[in-house]
């Protein structure tokens, strides 16, 4: 497995991987399918203050991706992070490798800390961020997702 900056050519594979996770449900706050064009647009938002990385297997297939970006509800010294690993590939070091790349990118971009907001029922996500050194700093209760489902969200902070 190799981690590298995401390219526009990766957007369809990123969308495919994310849509599999959305369809399965239970871990992401996203509830509607995305397209490669959606990913392209997300990558273009605040491009000078964001970083996107992909993990690719030996055949060049995207098996995980992660990004950091500013968020309107965070102070300017903080960025938000999102992490996704192909279903069935968790626990193989993909998330760790992606985080190493994005923590370096966050420091290079001048951020002081990284925020991760995770559904409270996403035990794998909570464990992943905890294992990276993130600590709880906020709780949003009874958040309505686009699907209408109500979940709590836990925000965790990692100081760079």
Categorize the per-residue pLDDT at 26 as very low, low, confident or very high, splitting at 50, 70 and 90: low
The residues near 81 (Cβ < 8 Å, ≥ 6 apart) are 66, 67, 68, 102, 114, 115, 116
* Of residues 45 and 29, more confidently modeled: 45
Look up the CATH number of the domain holding residue 120.
3.40.630.30
* Tally of domains within the chain: 1
Q: What local confidence, expressed as pLDDT, does residue 29 receive?
A: 72
Domain containing residue 106: 2-159
Lookup result for tokens 């990004």: 67
> pLDDT, tens digit, for every residue of 70-129?
999 999 999 999 999 998 777 668 999 999 999 999 999 999 999 999 989 888 889 999
pTM: 0.91
What is the largest distance, in Å, between two alpha-carbon atoms of the chain? 42
Return all residues near 67 (Cβ < 8 A) that are at least 6 apart.
Answer: 6, 42, 43, 50, 51, 52, 53, 81, 82, 102
């Amino acid at each position: 497995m190799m981690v590298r900056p995401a390219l526009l050519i990766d957007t369809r594979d990123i969308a495919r991987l994310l849509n599999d996770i959305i369809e399965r449900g239970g871990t992401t706050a996203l509830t509607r399918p995305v397209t490669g064009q959606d990913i392209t647009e997300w990558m273009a938002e605040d491009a000078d203050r964001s970083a996107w990385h992909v993990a690719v297997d030996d055949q060049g297939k995207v098996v995980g991706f992660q990004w950091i970006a500013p968020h309107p509800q965070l102070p300017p010294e903080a960025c938000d992070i999102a992490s996704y690993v192909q279903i069935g590939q968790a626990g193989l070091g993909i998330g760790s490798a992606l985080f190493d790349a994005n923590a370096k990118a966050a420091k290079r971009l001048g951020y002081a800390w990284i925020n991760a907001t995770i559904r409270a029922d996403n035990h794998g996500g909570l464990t992943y961020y905890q294992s990276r050194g993130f600590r709880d700093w906020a709780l949003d209760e009874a958040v309505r997702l686009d699907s209408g489902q109500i979940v709590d969200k836990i925000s965790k902070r990692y100081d760079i």
